[in-house]
Amino acid sequence: MHAKHLTWVVILLGACGRAPGPSPTSPIPTADAVGPETDVETLLAGLSVRDKIAQLVMPWIPGTYAAYDDDGFARAERWVDSLHVGGIIVSVGSPLDVAAKLNRLQRRSPLPLLVGSDFEGGTSLRLNGGTLLPPNMGVAATGSDSAAYDLGRITALEGRAVGVHLAFAPVADVNNNPANPIINTRAFGEDPAEVGRLVAAEVRGLREHGMLATAKHFPGHGDTGTDSHLALPVIASTWGRLDSVELVPFRAAIAAGVDVIMTAHIALPVIDPGEVRPGTVAPNILTGILRDSLGFRGMVVTDALNMAGVADAYGAEAGVRAFVAGADLLLQPADPRTAIDAMVRAVDRGEISADRLDRSVRRVLEAKRGLGLFLRRTVPLDSVPAVVGSAALQADAAAIAERSIVMVKDSGGVVHALPRSRPALTLVTYAEDEHRTVGAALASELRTQGFGVTVARLWPASGRASYDSAAALLGRGATAVFATADRPVAGRGTIGLPAAMTALIGRTARERPAVLVSLGNPYVIGGLPEVGSYLIGWRSNAVTERAVARALAGAAPITGRLPIALPPDYARGWGLQRRAP
């Protein structure tokens, strides 16, 4: 590890120790004053069966601000100081709000909490103010292992600064189904070996900067046409297909030392004979393939147990079924107390042995010891702004974003002519309602680069009047730029542009110079053969939008290459290259 990186890790791990909290409601061994030499076996022997089980349960909390006497936050405190849960998953919030919440819960917890968060593609998915990065597929478009490593490095530095220890990243799925409604740009690409190489690089970047890495979603969610948040996807893969495609990145992650692997709520009836059940509850997948065949010795974490892909079939017993199959950590059960009660009953009836339970709890306690949490479990709030979103990290992210831009086609030479002609532009954006700022940074940077820009914004709820208004604006401008932020959204179940938007883009491209820019789903070009100029920017955030604008203006080179094929014309590895003046 480089000296400057080691310094950051020391600063973050040496934050501040556990402050006195309330006495636990039942005796439980604590380790307030011990360091890395903590005797895990002694701790394990002193835990009751119920407290052992609780160490495996990780409920979800929002990261947004809440007063300490807020009902939701009080419930989280009860999970910690009464149920003795072993970990917490934290969601969207400001870095300071997240850190303050986690500090409070850590101080109340008898044993240090293992904190996880969904940091795929960087912390900005969960931390408002975290460094903005391209998604995994955009990182892959740079063709650089170092970009994937830096994705892990930046994520680890910012995550540890706010008190998160476990990143639910990287995504190790191979996205070889353009219609996949939930993976898409979350994956590095469609080539198993390339995905594996980049997964391994991100794992190293995370681990070498103090954060546990999670490869997900085992044994591979990339070839599904169903969102497992809504229903159970069924995949007809044979062992030969699974072994040569989906498992390749997981093998690479294991070779790189990945700490955790997350299960997928997908059914593989050919691999799991006679069963149509989630891999999360299939022993021959979690134990037979992951443990025995791949030799994984780290922790296995379920995907969220309140997702329809598993909850609809098993309800409160989902955690028991997953644990029996080979999981260690039970992620986001609908009700933590009910999940613990179900596990206790399973132990009482002999379905779960004492030895099997101890193996999983030992893995969790060893992970906490390795992270230094028995010595330091809270973080200094005044250090958060020094790390999260810092100028140095943002500069690194901007460089990655610039290298990620792919020019798929420019058959009419529209993009190549823009730096010379500087025409007036009409920018039409399309995005989900919650992304109302999409295109703002793109328009701003284009104006900085000397273009006159008029903007029209469209949303899923836009009606005919809105489309007519956009068409009228397009009729006045010399050159049209469309920026679409279609992206995979949990629970939506579909991906792709609405027919009205596709029709507007196609009609405009037939009538006047037009450029289509994807700030999300790269496959949108498939239904638009009329479009002659197509760029991919991968994500609708300010960093990537500025990179797109600079590319269009000729202020930056265009060097990205496709990590996927775009049927029928563009193979993986394709990308028109252009030097900057």
In the annotation, is 229 catalytic?
A: yes
Structure token pair of residue 321? 């079924």
Structure token pair of residue 87? 């970990």
Q: Which residue has the tokens 């002193």?
A: 46
Yes or no: say if 397 and 122 are a contact pair by the CB < 8 Å rule: yes
Is the peptide bond preceding residue 112 cis, with omega within 30 degrees of 0?
Answer: no
Q: Which of 149, 141, 194 is nearest to 169 (CA)?
A: 149
Q: Which entry of 303, 328, 410, 486 is annotated as an active-site residue?
A: 303
Query: From CA 169, how far away is CA 203, in angstroms rounded?
Result: 8
Structure token pair of residue 165? 């220890």
Q: Which of 273, 315, 290 is nearest to 217 (CA)?
A: 290
Please state, in angstroms and as integers, the Cα–Cα distance from residue 138 to each residue in 82, 144, 537, 559, following that order: 44, 11, 7, 12
- H/E segment holding residue 38: none
Yes or no: say if 414 and 425 are a contact pair by the CB < 8 Å rule: no
Which residues contact residue 569 at a Cβ distance below 8 angstroms, ignoring those fewer than 6 apart?
Answer: none
- H/E segment holding residue 58: strand 57-58
Structure token pair of residue 428? 């039409």
Query: From CA 184, how far away is CA 193, in angstroms rounded?
Result: 18
Query: From CA 332, how far away is CA 118, in angstroms rounded?
Result: 12
Query: From CA 271, how far away is CA 238, in angstroms rounded?
Result: 6
Q: Which entry of 165, 209, 221, 229 is annotated as an active-site residue?
A: 229
Beta strands in 105-161 (DSSP E): 114-117
Query: From CA 382, how far away is CA 389, in angstroms rounded?
Result: 14
Structure token pair of residue 156? 């680890």
Beta strands in 198-290 (DSSP E): 212-218, 260-263
Q: Exposed, middle or buried by CB within 10 Å (0-12, 13-18, 19+), for 266?
A: buried
Classify residue 55 by its DSSP letter: T
Classify residue 246 by its DSSP letter: I
**283 three-class SS:** helix
Query: From CA 181, how far away is CA 414, in angstroms rounded?
Result: 31
SS3 content of the chain, % helix, strand, coil (to 5): 45, 15, 45
Q: State the Rg of the chain over Cα.
A: 24
Active site residues: 229, 303
